[in-house]
Amino acid sequence: MTMPDNAPIQSAQPDGEFVGNRIRVLLATKSRELCESLRNLIQSQMDMEVVGEAFSPIELLLAVDQMKADVVIIEMLDSDQDPGICSHLLAEYPELLILALTPERESAYLFRQRIIREPLCEVADENILLAIRQVDVRLTD
């Protein structure tokens, strides 16, 4: 498990200043290429930060608690089956948002409390970012 340097927690303002909390994203993929691609995408966003990476289910379970993640992005090897770890994570962390991607990013699903599987209309960077930002709505309610 690797963890980046902790940056100040902030949020976007019209003048480019940041105030508030960033969305804390934990990456849990087996593919280093997918992990690096997602890391670059998320780090380019002012309202998000990658708080760590987990490369095994045990690392993931430990990291969600330690990193206080808002969102977990996992790799889903079979788009026809729901990853079993989702029910465990959501039972333990009901506010968590889980985004499951296939390695080639051809399919993506959101998992929330009560294991609701929501297909994304198109697996594109902007849709991945919109899905991650759904957690921000819950943080401000």
pLDDT digits (tens, 9 = 90+) for 9-53: 344 455 555 566 899 999 998 888 889 999 999 999 999 999 999
> What percent of the chain has pLDDT above 70?
75
- Residue 89 lies inside a defined structural domain of this protein: yes
- Residue 6 lies inside a defined structural domain of this protein: no
- Residue 97 lies inside a defined structural domain of this protein: yes
Q: Which domain holds residue 78?
A: 23-140
- Residue 75 lies inside a defined structural domain of this protein: yes
Residue 7 has pLDDT above 80, yes or no: no
- Residue 13 lies inside a defined structural domain of this protein: no
Q: What is the CATH number of the domain that holds 77?
A: 3.40.50.2300
Task: Tell me the pTM.
Answer: 0.71
Number of domains, the chain: 1
- Residue 11 lies inside a defined structural domain of this protein: no
pLDDT digits (tens, 9 = 90+) for 103-126: 777 888 888 885 567 777 778 888
Which string of DSSP letters, residue by residue, matches the chain? -B-PPPPPP--B-TTS-B-S--EEEEEE-S-HHHHHHHHHHHHT-TTEEEEEE-SSHHHHHHHHHHHT-SEEEEE-S-TTS--THHHHHHHH-TT-EEEEE-TTSS-EEEEETTTEEEE-SS--HHHHHHHHHHHHHHHH-
- Residue 4 lies inside a defined structural domain of this protein: no
